[in-house]
Structure 1
Amino acid sequence: MRIELHGGGFAHVEASSIEIDGDELVFVADHGEDMARHPIRLVSRVVLPDDASGQVDDRAYSVEAIRQDHPQAYARWESADESALLAMADAGMTPDEIGRILGRQPGGISSRLAKLRGVGSDASTQVRFG
């Protein structure tokens, strides 16, 4: 299935079910492993496979293609990267600047910063850089 995020980001996940854990959608594989977690407020929609083959039309999305420009896109975050992210954001760097350094997409930078700073779903709460 394909997870579409507000702001235009996508993620492909090999999952057979979706669960809700607090304020997150949890995408679970047949064997019970959590394959991905996304804050509900960041997900615009989930595209389910069109047919019994389980295939989703992925012409608009390819991790390999995105990683040509952003080598760490969709990779797990290490604690050192999270610390660097917080330090760079506190220093006033933009998501584009941080993304170039960490090899990630600007949307991934903003999303991770929101998670680390515990930004709620209240529309008046925004992630601040600097």
Structure 2
Amino acid sequence: MMMTRQRVTWSVREDSVLILCRVASHFLNRKLRRPFVPWCVVRDLLHAEFEESLDKTSPSVGRRSRYILRNPQTHLNYKNVLQCSVSLCRYSDRSSAPPPGRVMSPSLTPRHSCSHGNTDTHTHL
């Protein structure tokens, strides 16, 4: 598909994929401050999934990803997802689980709250 305009339009689905790629990139390599997955890979993923994405270029994908995170609410949601994921990884680690056959007391049971407002309680057996 040829670009007929100077600006491209972005759908909510495309924005969601960009945010998901940012989160995945963070977990693939946490030491880098910049995205670990190249924008051309994200662009190819968008092209494969959405026909309306065929007019997007790698630089426009990078620009849009940076623009999305400039929105304070989106940035807060992004940070919340990262924090929730880190908490889940920490509490699901086998080394922190009690020995088999023992149940953690309720006061020691890890609790975390994610962006959807639910508070989950995990009891290791």
Name the TM-score, length of structure 2 as normaliser: 0.25
TM-score, length-normalised on structure 1?
0.24
| Higher normalized helix content (fraction of residues) | 2
Larger radius of gyration: 2
